[in-house]
Amino acid sequence: MTASDDRISDYLTRYADSLTAFDAETAAGLWSAPGMIVNDRTSGVLDSRDAMVDGLRQSYPIYQRLGLASVGFELLERRDLSDRLALVRVRWLFFDAGGAQLTDTDSYYLLRDEAEGLQACVCVETDAAQKLQALAAERGVDLTSLS
């Protein structure tokens, strides 16, 4: 892939910063349209940036109730698939306002180098649902009331 590790880290930093700021427009701008999110239970396609913005905004009250104040990441793995595609494994780190780590989740992203820069095409969440549910139980947050 033409993207260096530095460009991938820069992309992930911008993504983490947009999540920390609850900035749905910026986060959605880091995705190719359509974008797909897959986990153990569902697969969803977001056909447009507007749909991505709406989906992100719907998740923010959950993160806020769980005490999320900032997001970091570790780039765990990178595999170049072609000149423009890379598969990366990322560990997202979620922190509270005091800087204590709340939880982490691992995801795989298929990134494509496009005219706008790196864009996520697919996200495969491996453990996000389980870890967020465990954090919610620990904090006494009913996730069903936030849906």
Contact 8, 92 (CB under 8 A): no
Query: What is the reported pLDDT for 70?
Result: 97
List the CATH number of the domain containing 76.
3.10.450.50
Domain assignment present for residue 132? The answer is yes
Domain assignment present for residue 17? The answer is yes
Instruction: State the virtual CA torsion across 92, 93, 96, 98 in degrees, nearest 10.
Output: -150
Domain assignment present for residue 134? The answer is yes
Query: What is the reported pLDDT for 1?
Result: 47
Domain that holds residue 57: 5-139
| 127 closest CA partner among 108, 110, 142, 144 | 108
Query: What is the reported pLDDT for 45?
Result: 94
Q: Domains in the chain: how many in total?
A: 1
Domain assignment present for residue 144? The answer is no
Digit-coded pLDDT (tens) for 96-117:
999 999 999 999 999 999 999 9
Query: What is the reported pLDDT for 5?
Result: 87
